[in-house]
Amino acid sequence: MDKLVIQGGRPLTGQITVGGSKNTALPLMAAALLADGESKIHNMPVLQDVYTFSNVLRVTGATVAFTPDDDPNTPDSMRIDASNIHHPEAPYELVKKMRASFYMLGALLGRCGKAKVSLPGGCAWGPRPVDLHIKGIEALGAEIREEGGYVIAEAPGGRLKGGTFAFEPSSVGATINVLLAAVTASGESRFENAAAEPDVVVFGQMLQAMGAKIDGLGTKTITVQGVDKLNPVEFSNCPDRIELGTYMIAAAIATPPGETFVINGTNADHLGADFRERFAETGVPVTYGDGMIEVEGVETIQPVSIETAPYPGFPTDLQAQWTVMMTQASGASTVRDTVYTDRFKHVPELRRLGAKLRADGDTVTIEGKDATPLSGAIVMSTDLRASVSLVLAGMVASGETNVLRVYHLDRGYEKLEKKLQNAGIAIERDTYDEAHPEG
């Protein structure tokens, strides 16, 4: 099994480039199934989830071509030919690896009028129910039943009618899934309390480029007028906003005081106002430019408490990284996650590095840098964002840190160790025996 070995205390220098958005790439791939022909999607991230979802698409009869190069700063493109979708199924052995495979429910219903999709797996923390997805698609006229761990859906007469649905709570995944199903329905659909995240907006813009009639993207109310068919398209994925936020935090904790670190390939608006405002309160200077950001290192990071919320609130996918940043601040702070209230598997691992943290319900209290300096240890990844938080902590800890089970990390961070190596961090990928991790 792979691990990352980090020699702490090296300064972050030079620049780094943000990859294409993981959370948008998979919906864009699903959207390509709706058109009879070949679509080309640019700025695709080189991630395990992308490879897994490519295989999910291939099961249906789609052809997927994705051959990225090794350059961590070069965007990669994918071709998806959906001319021959003859097997509208997403099997358990693939869907269990990645919950986003459940997007196949809406995509196959929209394209074929029927779908058989396994119930998903995913990260270890917290339940990720698909009830909203199913209820939303039922509201469009689908007949759905569960059988043998699969969701089996059909559109009476071969085509959904359209309908009205209110998301409670708002959900990015469910909004994407019902849009996939609604754009080729025979009538109009209206969705209330829809997700307004950039992932949804950019995905919706691809559907529009394919010929879908969608109004209200980026607002809580989305209306769709179904069309008879969609057309293949050439489209560019947006930068990954969570990767950007992660690199901003990395720059804040590891850039030498007075020096500047550059992050390229950015869209700062996608971070949301709350993250940018809280980051400014830390006292770390940031300059937002056109497609790039400069972060200046400081002597002292001010403690700033945060509370996660749906976009444009503070992203739940950045709270673990923020927790690490606050271990380097000059005083105590709190991190409260109101989106996924049990998403704190990284806390005991950070304690192994010397961090003074206390989790109580949906809130973590963090004592700052003066309480206990971090020192290297063997730590275990438990999910995607927790794993990158351990890498950040290892960068500023003294001595050597081994981050185990980095297959979690590979699901969401493109060529991470190569990018960090190019920016001065002493980090290497190695293998280890799971039964004897210290050997």
Q: What is the pLDDT of residue 246?
A: 97
Residue 239 three-state SS: strand
Q: Edge-to-edge strands of the sheet including 306-307?
A: 306-307, 333-336, 363-366, 357-360
Domains (ranges, CATH) in the chain? 2-19+239-431 (3.65.10.10), 22-236 (3.65.10.10)
Q: What is the pLDDT of residue 121?
A: 56
For 147, counting Cβ atoms within 10 Å of its Cβ (0-12 exposed, 13-18 middle, 19+ buried), the class is: exposed
Interatomic CA distance for residues 271 and 194, integer angstroms: 19
Residue 131 among known ligand-binding residues: yes
Choosing from 57, 109, 123, 409, the catalytic residue is 123
Q: What is the pLDDT of residue 439?
A: 60
pLDDT at 104 over 90: yes
What single DSSP character describes residue 257?
Answer: B
Residue 129 pLDDT level (bands cut at 50, 70, 90): low
Q: What is the pLDDT of residue 126?
A: 42
Q: Across the strands, what pairs with 214? A: 224
Per-residue pLDDT tens for 163-178?
999 999 899 999 999 9
- Going by C-beta distance under 8 Å and a sequence separation of 6 or more, which residues neighbour residue 359? 344, 347
- Average pLDDT in the chain: 94
Q: What is the pLDDT of residue 97?
A: 81
Percentage of the residues of the chain whose pLDDT score is greater than 70: 98
Residue 383 among known ligand-binding residues: no
Residue 405 among known ligand-binding residues: no
pLDDT at 212 over 90: yes
pLDDT at 368 over 80: yes
pLDDT-wise least confident of 99-103, 125-129, 259-263, 320-324: 125-129
Q: Is 123 a catalytic residue?
A: yes
Residue 22 among known ligand-binding residues: yes
pLDDT at 125 over 50: no
Interatomic CA distance for residues 392 and 351, integer angstroms: 14
Q: What is the pLDDT of residue 127?
A: 44
For strands 213-215 and 221-225, give the pairing: antiparallel
DSSP state letters, 145-205: EEETTEEEEE-GGGS----EEE-SS--HHHHHHHHHHHTTSSSEEEEES----HHHHHHHH
Per-residue pLDDT tens for 1-23?
999 999 999 999 999 999 999 99
Residue 99 among known ligand-binding residues: yes
The number of residues in the chain equals: 439
